[in-house]
Amino acid sequence: MPMVVSLRQVFETHPSAVGETYFQHQAAAFTYARVLFCASAAALVHGVLPFLFQTTASRAVARMHAFSKARAASAAE
């Protein structure tokens, strides 16, 4: 017999596991997406024109790492 899972459960299980609401988790995910999109665009331009955006992608990754560590620390509290 298949297990019945509510739609709410599907959308809230992971966010609640990391100590966030659905919308808090969505905002964090959109932040990651925006930063990654901009960093990848800078890296693509840098690949063609190496004198542009020399440290943009690596700085973005460092900021994302700090953001991720801060989120993990607040979730552990």
Beta-carbon contacts of 65 under 8 Å, excluding residues fewer than 6 positions away, are none
User: Is residue 25 a contact partner of residue 15, using CB atoms and an 8 Å limit?
Assistant: yes
For the stretch 30-55, pLDDT in tens is 999 999 999 999 999 999 999 999 99
Q: Where are the domains of the chain?
A: 7-76
Q: For residue 1, what pLDDT is reported?
A: 46
* Rounded Cα gap, residues 72 and 10, in angstroms: 22
2 band by pLDDT with thresholds 50, 70 and 90: low
In angstroms, the Cα distances linking 55 to 11, 41, 62 are: 37, 13, 11
